[in-house]
Amino acid sequence: MLPCAARAGISVAGGGLTDSRSPSAVAAVLVSSGTSVPVVPLALQGSLLAPLTSNGGYAATFEVRGLTGGGYGGAYVGVGGGVGDLVSNQSAAPIFTFFAGKAIAPLTSIELRIYKQTRDEAPVTAGFVGLRFSF
């Protein structure tokens, strides 16, 4: 196995987001950009989640994604951490995420994410499910 140049990529996902404070789902968009780590089956990426509602909110995370193989590029899992405000009360707090996805066609996958905002006075857990397109 010889080292090769790292390849950067951008992907966009659209889907639904719901959180522990309100059971209704809202539309959300997720944008990621990352690069593969040569020699090991890992990718480093940064992601930005933004609900598309008047309530707003965001989550900006740095993530490590592991590649597990399978058809059309396979399945993947990952973890990350960063800052954000999922409930849009104007104060950023630490956020952690766990995600998994499965390719369903070339450059297309279904992704499931769990976000945990660790604010002392009002911790929030949110779930995102969406369709990811890679470029």
What is the per-residue pLDDT for 69? 66
Q: How confident is the model at residue 62 (pLDDT cuts 50, 70, 90)?
A: very high
In a domain? residue 2: no
Q: Are 96 and 75 in contact (CB under 8 A)?
A: no
Identify the domain containing residue 39 by its residue range.
9-134
Residue 118 belongs to domain with CATH number: 2.40.160.20
Most confidently modeled range among 45-54, 109-118, 119-128: 109-118
In a domain, 73, yes or no: yes
Tell me whether residue 1 is in a domain. no
4 located within any domain: no
* Residue 56 lies inside a defined structural domain of this protein: yes
Domain count, the chain: 1
Contact status, residue 88 vs residue 55, Cβ threshold 8 Å? yes
pLDDT band at 51 (very low <50, low <70, confident <90, very high): confident
2, pLDDT greater than 50: no
pLDDT higher than threshold 70 for residue 6: no
Is 3 inside a domain boundary? no
